[in-house]
Amino acid sequence: MLDATESTVLERLYADAPEGLDFRKLRKRLVRQTREAIEAYGMATAGQRWLVCLSGGKDSYTLLAALIELEWRGLLPVDLLACNLDQGQLGFPATVLPEYLARLGIPHRIEYRDTYSIVIDKVPSSKTYCALCSRLRRGHLYRIAREEGCQAVVLGHHRDDVLATFFLNLFHGGRLAAMPPKLVNEDGDLTVLRPLAHVAEDDCDRFAKAMGFPIIPCDLCGSQEGLQRQQIKAMLDGWERSSPGRRGVMFKALSNVRPSHLADPDLFDFANLAASGPENP
C-alpha cells in the first residue's frame, strides 16, 4: 500500500487494483460513461462542492472512484465531499466506511441518525420500507449538504435503476417517468445528480469485486421478499438474457422521446393538429 504522504488519492485508490487488460477496459468505460453523463446533462459547474453519498454498496463505491479519477484528470472542476448516513440499522458496521475513506485520504463526513427505528415502527412488515426510508434519508442528506456548503447531492443510481423506475411507473404508477439524471429539489436550492446514469449495473458489480471494496449490504429493504422493484429487475434480466443489449436500447429510448407519438395533450397540441388537405372549391 502506498504511503498517504507520498501518493495521490487516485494512486492509493488503485494501489491494489488488478493490472489486466479487461480491468483497464472496464475502468476506462466507467470513467468515460460517467463523464458523458456529466457533460450531456450539464451537471458540473466550476467551483461547486458536491456531497457524494455513500451507502457502502457497489454502486456508490464505483461512483466515488469515477468522480475521483475525473477530478484528478482535471475533467471535473468541483470539490468532492464523501458522506455516509448511518441510519442505525442493527448490526451496521459503523467503522467500515470511515476507516476506508480515512485510509485513502478522501474528505468525508459520517452522520448518525436513527431512521431505522422510525421506519420499522411506522411501516408494517408486509409493506415496503423503501419509500419512507429514502424520504427520511433524503431529508438528512439535504440538510448535510446545506451545512457543508454543497450545491449538489450526488447519488449512485445507475442505468438499470433508471430503467427499473421507468417500468415501475409504467406498470404501477400510470405515468411515463424515470429517475432523472439531474433535478432540482423542491426547495430549489440543491441539485440532485446521478452521474452513473449511463453505466450498467453489471459493470458496477464487476468493478466493485475487482477493486475489493468493503461492501456493506442493506439489511432493511434488502431483507424483504417480493418487492415490485425486484420483480422488475427479474423481468429486465430475463429480457437481457434472451436479447443481449436490450437494456441499452431501452435506455436510448428514454432520450429519444417523441411527444407527438404518445397521448399527452399537455405535451403535444393534438387539438390544433390538422392536415392541410386540398383547398375548398
Give the pLDDT confidence score for residue 136 in this predicted structure: 81
pTM of the model: 0.89
Question: In this structure, which topology does domain 9-222 adopt according to CATH?
Answer: Rossmann fold (3.40.50)
pLDDT band, residue 125 (cuts 50/70/90): low
Give the pLDDT confidence score for residue 268 in this predicted structure: 95
Residue 158 · residue 201 · CB < 8 Å: yes
Compute φ and ψ for 164, nearest 5 degrees.
-60, -40
Give the pLDDT confidence score for residue 122 in this predicted structure: 67
Give the pLDDT confidence score for residue 219 in this predicted structure: 57
Q: Which amino acid does the sequence have at 37?
A: A
Instruction: Using a pLDDT cut of 70, give the percent of the chain over it.
Output: 90
Most confident of 117-121, 137-141, 263-267: 263-267
Give the pLDDT confidence score for residue 29 in this predicted structure: 98
Paired residues of 154 in beta bridges: 52, 193
Residue 164 · residue 229 · CB < 8 Å: yes
pLDDT band, residue 86 (cuts 50/70/90): confident
Tens-place pLDDT, residues 26-79 = 999 999 999 999 999 999 999 999 999 999 999 999 999 999 999 999 999 999
Question: Which residue is it, cell 445507475?
Answer: 158
Strands 182-184 and 191-193: antiparallel
Compute φ and ψ for 159, nearest 5 degrees.
-55, -40
User: Order of strands, edge to edge, in the sheet holding 108-112?
Assistant: 108-112, 79-86, 49-53, 152-154, 191-193, 182-184
Which of 179, 155, 174 has its CA nearest to residue 52?
Answer: 155
Helices (H), the chain: 9-13, 21-40, 58-72, 96-104, 116-122, 130-147, 159-168, 201-211, 228-242, 246-254
Q: Domain coordinates of the chain in residue numbers? A: 9-222
Q: CA angle at residue 95 from 93 to 97, to 5 degrees?
A: 95
Kindly state the DSSP code that residue 31 receives in the 8-state scheme: H
Tens-place pLDDT, residues 223-277 = 444 478 888 999 999 999 999 999 999 999 999 999 999 999 999 999 999 998 7
Tens-place pLDDT, residues 166-209 = 999 999 899 999 999 999 999 999 999 999 999 999 999 999 99
